Structure 1
């Protein structure tokens, strides 16, 4: 049981417990009943704070973002490209810190306004570079969606080092595809060095945004 079970039950404590339990059981195994058991309370007690699991996921995503942003300051000297690169690198790192972190984050809505100052600053930076508000929103959303989607795939392929080795043997894949040499050789690029894959993909997104809107 949680060592914090005597502390008052509130939304943030429930989300904190859920995030810790997430690393043990994954998103599929994360139930309100399991969280209640970890908190040493009855499951109905959680419904005072969250009407359903989706509401809890919203709070968990908010907490992930809150932790990601804690202690970090935006650099006013950033170009818009640098800001997008930094923000999405930070997001990937944060999501990888939790089992199924990207799935938890995907499709959620923040429950507070802690994210608003950074969002306002990002939109102002893009606007000052020549983006319309709609273009700035589209640019940020596109980069954000790439990062979340990438990490969902990354965590699907390697939820842990052991699982990654069990799930895909690149050497065996290459042997099975000897009649398709380019497809066979692509295996290392598709399923190896996720850091390189992410950086290249994000660079493509940012370059594409600049090209699309004609903004350097």
Structure 2
């Protein structure tokens, strides 16, 4: 018997349920219930949960990169715009960064954007290997930052238990005053912290990987 639903329906439902259940609560059984089918029907399309997560991440990227790609004016613009866009897309889903992290993309739709960004580096004189290092450093920074951000704020306006700076400070030994005072910076103002961290990444790329540095190690 042919399946009664297609892959797109399953993925769309999974992404919608993600906001309700979080990644840990998102199971093939829960998705099947939402679609009013038996769980084995999903195995027509996805062998296991990881295969579904791969397709979910790919669909997230499709939605993030839809439309024509405008070549950036500089490698700095390419890197910062990519990281900002990725963060914004991941924050659109509960546990979005966890879903995206470590997944294998299921089509080649991302390669045009990847080529455009790497070309911005190579035009500026970067070796391809250094351009890849710069890109993956920015990518890893963004994914890691958003994983931590979503641990504190699973959804916009929501703060997870245990991350209130004042409560945290009250439970820390007074002798460790710097650790106690750090709570406000550790668990607040994520927009500012992301931008400052991104500036650090860009400056580090220029200092360590930039063409002038490579020519004069």
Query: TM-score under structure 1 normalisation?
Result: 0.90
Deviation at 1:77, TM superposition (A): 4.5
Correspondent of 2:180 among 181, 184, 201: 184
What is the SS of the residue equivalent to 1:47? helix
1:102/1:148 contact within 8 Å kept: yes
Q: 1:84 corresponds to which residue?
A: 79
Q: 2:190 corresponds to which residue?
A: 194
Deviation at 1:40, TM superposition (A): 1.3
> Unmatched 5+ residue regions in structure 2?
213-217
In 2, Cα distance between equivalents of 1:8 and 1:87? 38
* 1:111 is the counterpart of 2:106: yes
> Unmatched 5+ residue regions in structure 1?
1-6
Deviation at 1:80, TM superposition (A): 0.5
* 1:93 is the counterpart of 2:62: no
Q: 1:48 corresponds to which residue?
A: 44
Q: 2:215 corresponds to which residue?
A: none
Q: 1:3 corresponds to which residue?
A: none
What is the SS of the residue equivalent to 1:166? coil
Correspondent of 2:18 among 17, 22, 35: 22
Q: 1:172 corresponds to which residue?
A: 167
* 1:142 is the counterpart of 2:100: no
Correspondent of 1:125 among 103, 120, 123: 120
Deviation at 1:117, TM superposition (A): 0.8
1:33/1:43 contact within 8 Å kept: yes
2:72/2:78 contact within 8 Å kept: no
In 2, Cα distance between equivalents of 1:107 and 1:91? 15
Query: Residue deviations 1:42-73, cap 9 Å, x none?
Result: 111111111111110000000101111123x4
Q: How many residues align?
A: 209
What is the SS of the residue equivalent to 2:175? coil
- CA RMSD after TM alignment: 1.9
Query: Residue deviations 1:168-209, cap 9 Å, x none?
Result: 221233344433333332221111101111111111111111
Deviation at 1:96, TM superposition (A): 0.6
What is the SS of the residue equivalent to 1:55? helix
Query: Residue deviations 1:106-147, cap 9 Å, x none?
Result: 000111111111111111111111111111111111100110
What is the SS of the residue equivalent to 2:47? coil
Q: 1:68 corresponds to which residue?
A: 64
In 2, Cα distance between equivalents of 1:31 and 1:38? 11
